[in-house]
Amino acid sequence: MAPQVYNNGSGYNTPDSQLESALPIHPTAARRPEYITVQSENTTYTDEHITSKFVNRGASVQVTDGRMTVTPTAQTYEFRTERKVGKTGLMMIGLGGNNGTTLCATILANRHNITWHTKNGIVQPNYIGSMLRASTVQIGTDPATGKEVHVPISDVLPMVHPDDLVLGGWDISGLPMDQAMARSKVLDYDLQRQVAPHMALLDKPLPSIYYPDFIAANQEARADNVIPGADKQAHLEHIRADIRKFKVEHGLDRVVVFWTANTERYSDIIPGVNDTADNLLAAIKSSHEEVSPSTLFAVAAILEGAPFVNGAPQNTFVPGAIALAEREHGFIGGDDLKSGQTKLKSVLAEFLVNAGIKPLSIASYNHLGNNDGHNLSAERQFRSKEISKSSVVDDMVDANRLLYKAPAAGATGKAAKGEHPDHIVVIKYVPAVGDSKRAIDEYYSEIFCGGRQTINIFNECEDSLLATPLILDLTILTELLTRVQYRRSGEGEFAPLHSVLSLLSYMCKAPLVKPGTDVVNSLGRQRNALEAFLKACVGLEGNSDLLLETRIW
């Protein structure tokens, strides 16, 4: 008998034998345990934990009459990482959008080993673009050959495998996931054709929160799947119940909540409204107009003990939200996925400044035609993105006051930054190009003896195919960091990390950091910090590029 086929009404046909393999949404196949075992007095293993000692070395600098006295410092910490990786769910706000559908389809393609045809040949499913799944870290040298040994970053510590994530979430559009994927127009048709039956088995997006004042008016036509009413306290309780239900229904140990929906306008910071935890909770109860959907989702996640990551540029984490996370010992991270143009900027600007070359202006132009671009065509939503993109070179400029004059004492406003390159960001909505984003950058710099240098870069890419792997990395790292505890050596009990997960900065345009600490935008420094932390958790030192053994007798 010929195999039966599945047809969802959109022309997607898949044999029953393949469809049946889609039914277990969460496979239970055992994953390989961590690959690295460190033999050291600084590292111990039990069935439950990896415990390590790490010496954090730095220097204290005292300035007196323009002279600097530098004193080396050393502080020993102990890290304890829970080895068991619990069953983890990912709930995305914006599940039916470009990023949400692309992520779900990619995981399903990998989970079911779906290959597809393009004009260039057959493509295998992969996680290229994910730092955790497609890049490596150097852990030492082979004594026999003297060559460096590299391992996948995902092997340093036990981490969730992307294939094992349980997927769900909310969207203001109620389109089923297979149809939402087709609407997004991101993936090759042959992949869509084969993965559509698996997508159709995912739950439709849950109703989401829609406050028209926070996103562009051009999104109203999509808003057919919203929680009714205007009572923000009721909306908060509704979202909290959704998280609890999802966790129970799927037997999850941990849920990570991720905002990958539309960019909102910036929220005004108003004393008495969103400046403290209690004021923010009271503002929600009174349905204050300045409580945004993303902030309400963040509060719901915090109160449910679910880490919340903001993948968009708006100021979701108003001071009251950060204070609430600290009080509830919740975990938060963000803001805004750093995928293409801004990631390059955080490399190239650092390269120029570190080379002693002085960027005078950085002009960035973008055009794209997906729904993100449509939403950003509204002025207030674009302003959120502009703010996120514009701060990316600040720490690099501040690190070199030979090139840029420091701010004058008591300076306020723009002058408080001191001398700074002109930095312009333009985003235009061009429907014809769809998800294929075009980015043009000009770096105009001063060089030797008053000369000038201009570097122009043109970048074209599928926007969602760069952003989606970052959602995976942020989710997996967030889950890992919930299992890491620390203490100063010999002092008290182990405690969780700070609520603000600044180690996620590598994937974020506008990194959220612990209040009162400096923001680091340099991509190299962010990557080094993350690598060093992961290695510290197994008792290894951070990377040394000194290569002393090659430089001395």
Task: Determine what percent of the chain falls in helix, strand and coil, rounding each to the nearest 5.
Answer: 35, 25, 40
Q: Is 245 a catalytic residue?
A: no
Identify the active-site residue in 247, 343, 358, 509.
Answer: 509
Tokens of 303: 């109160």
Identify the active-site residue in 336, 372, 435, 441.
Answer: 336
Phi then psi for 26, rounded to 5 degrees?
-120, 100
Q: Is 385 a catalytic residue?
A: yes
Is 211 within 8 Å of 204 (Cβ atoms)?
A: no
Identify the active-site residue in 204, 232, 437, 535.
Answer: 437
Identify the active-site residue in 247, 358, 385, 535.
Answer: 385
Phi then psi for 154, rounded to 5 degrees?
-65, -10
Interatomic CA distance for residues 197 and 496, integer angstroms: 41
Q: Which residue has tokens 């502080």?
A: 75
Distance of CA 151 to CAs 85, 133, 138, 389, 495, Å? 20, 11, 7, 33, 29
Q: Which residue has tokens 């969602």?
A: 464
Phi then psi for 45, rounded to 5 degrees?
-125, 135
Q: Is 278 a catalytic residue?
A: no
Tokens of 197: 């039956």
DSSP string, 190-251: HHHHHHHHHHHTSPPPEEB---GGGS-GGGGGG--SB--SS-HHHHHHHHHHHHHHHHHHTT
CB < 8 Å & 24+ apart, contacts of 474-477: 474/258, 474/309, 474/311, 474/333, 474/504, 474/507, 475/88, 475/90, 475/160, 475/165, 475/256, 475/258, 475/309, 476/132, 476/154, 476/159, 476/160, 476/162, 477/132, 477/159, 477/501, 477/503, 477/504, 477/530
Q: Is 535 a catalytic residue?
A: no
Q: Which residues are catalytic?
A: 336, 385, 437, 509
